[in-house]
Amino acid sequence: MNYQKLSQKDKKYLWHPFTQQQEWIADKDITIITKGKGTFLYDAKGKKYLDGVSSLWCNVHGHQVPEIDRAIQKQLKKIAHSTLLGASNEPAILLAEKLVKLAPKGLTRVFYSDSGSEANEIAAKMAFQYWQQKKPAKPKKNLFLTVREGYHGDTIGSVSLGGVDLFHQIFGPMLFKTLKVKSPHDYSSRKVSNTQWLKDCVKEAEAVFKKYGSRLAAVHMEPLMEGAGGMLAHPWGYLKAIRRLCDKYEVLLILDEVATGFGRTGTLFACEQEGVRPDILCLAKNLTGGYLPLAATLTTEKVYKAFLGAFESTRTFYHGHTFTGNQLACAAALANLELMEKEEFLANIEKSSQMLQEFLEPIVAHPHVADVRLRGMMGGIELVKDKTHDIPYGYGEKMGYRVCAEAKKLGVLIRPLGNVIVLMPPLAITRKNLMRLIEVISLSIHRATKD
């Protein structure tokens, strides 16, 4: 079908996520992707784009990866899907074994779902029910401590755990109450050293533990870098300090590594960089290499055993999804993880991260760039209207979107988070394409911000 017909049907029938539909419908040049190869996408007009946003942070090795393609095709000749409720399947079993071997030590059980939002809701429900059923039970431990600007998805439970007001403030009356501490990143107002800033942030968290420790079920947070909240990098040592507080006050630690996991921050899991082991770990996005929806919530044997009992005890975890443990998705994930286990995978990410840091250094001096934040291959460029006086662009000025529109003209697809330009290229991106990505972003910032 030609571009014009597809465009008309899109505008007549589709409702796009995180998109102001009135502006989308008025756009005469919407992007309609028809195929992908390597780290490039091709639209219905035949135009080629560098996939600079990893197809929303989930593409690892590129598009049309032979090993993953073959794994899906092989599985498709057997069966595409059967339920995990009351039955099991080979790919789900083998993937669970693989995840336990790769995950931080102590995580021994895998619960599948379809998205990061679901993985996080499952984690919260597990933590809540754990305290109700452990021996001895502690039913008063029913509060969650979260970090402002954290993002754990868009379903009501995951929104309750998050803190991005732009997305979720309107839903306030629908959410369950959580305790919140400020995001430990605050580049614009920080007037103290990094050491003092870390102490201040930990002190604030510790005050909450002291006051509510007996009622805290879990701390629920993203490690090292808060993604959709604005690519906010945490100071080194913060995660380890939170782990110590959780141990001291007998509180579970839930880490959302949906965005940070599987090599994105330089190690297989971000928490490894501070030697931290969570009680519950949430995974999605990169799990299948960007091929199919699949998420996993991993937990410890201690948590798992609190759900065991006779049938009539009703200690069961009553949660599930139709496509839990889908065979095609698990087959894709197994092939993806086999590629990740090769020695060069993390080594190449380290090299790419160093190159990215090098390429970004000139951008820091731009008069409208306030901050550049990077952890591995996950980063953001913060734009401001007035750098000297720290005056941000207004929401209605759409600066982030304007930069991305300029990049699109130059053959690069990226997406902003407000006034933050997101840096999340495919992990397998070449040096040449990484250079091109930064060149285009730099030029796009110049064009969009020039007076």
Find the mean pLDDT for residues 34-60: 98
Q: Are 390 and 188 in contact (CB under 8 A)?
A: yes
| Percent share of the chain, pLDDT over 70 | 99
> Residue 211 and residue 193: Cα distance in Å, rounded?
27
Name the 3-class secondary structure at 296: strand
The b/e string for 346-378 (b: 16+ C-beta within 10 A; e otherwise) is: bebbeebbeebeebbeebeebebbbbbbbbbbb
Domain ranges of the chain: 31-64+344-449, 69-340
What mean pLDDT comes out for the span 431-448?
Answer: 97
pLDDT at 180: 96
Tell me which residue has tokens 């798992």. 304
CA 400 to the chain's CA centroid: 20
Q: Are 151 and 287 in contact (CB under 8 A)?
A: no
CATH of 69-340, one of 3.40.50.720, 3.90.1150.10, 3.40.50.300, 3.40.640.10: 3.40.640.10
The pLDDT value given to residue 31: 98
User: What pLDDT does 440 receive?
Assistant: 98
What pairing do the DSSP bridges indicate for beta strands 107-113 and 295-300?
antiparallel
Nearest 5°: CA angle at 322, between 161 and 95? Answer: 80
- Amino acid at site 221: M
pLDDT digits (tens, 9 = 90+) for 383-437: 999 999 889 999 999 999 999 999 999 999 999 999 999 999 999 999 999 999 9
Q: Which tokens go with 91? A: 């790919």
Cis ω for the linkage preceding 184 (within 30 of 0): no
Would you place residue 94 in the very low, low, confident or very high pLDDT band (cuts 50, 70, 90)?
A: very high
**Position 204: which residue type?**
E
**Mean pLDDT of the residues in the chain:** 96
Which pLDDT value is given to residue 58?
98
- Measured CA to CA, the distance from residue 446 to residue 440 in angstroms comes to 10
pLDDT in tens, 171-224: 999 999 999 999 998 665 567 788 899 999 999 999 999 999 999 999 999 999
pLDDT confidence bin for 229, thresholds 50/70/90: very high
Task: Read off the pLDDT of residues 289-316 as tens digits, 9 standing for 90 and up.
Answer: 999 999 999 999 999 999 999 999 999 9
- H or E element in which residue 112 lies: strand 107-113
Instruction: Give the Å distances, CA to CA, from 370 to 327, 383, 439.
Output: 46, 6, 18
pLDDT number for residue 188: 58
Question: Quick one: fold of 31-64+344-449?
Answer: Aspartate Aminotransferase, domain 1 (3.90.1150)
d(CA 152, CA 317): 21
Burial class (CB in 10 A: 0-12, 13-18, 19+), 37: exposed
User: Where do we find the tokens 């934040």?
Assistant: 373
Q: How far is it, in rounded angstroms, from Cα 149 to Cα 147? A: 6
Question: Does 129 have pLDDT greater than 90?
Answer: yes
Q: Kindly tell me if the per-residue pLDDT of 286 is higher than 70.
A: yes
For residue 264, give both structure tokens. 């994105």
Query: 188 exposed, middle or buried (CB, 10 Å; 0-12, 13-18, 19+)?
Result: exposed
Between 450 and 108, name the one with better pLDDT: 108
Q: In what order do the strands lie in the sheet with 420-423?
A: 369-375, 378-383, 420-423, 416-417
- The per-residue pLDDT for 419 is 96
| pTM tops 0.85, yes or no | yes
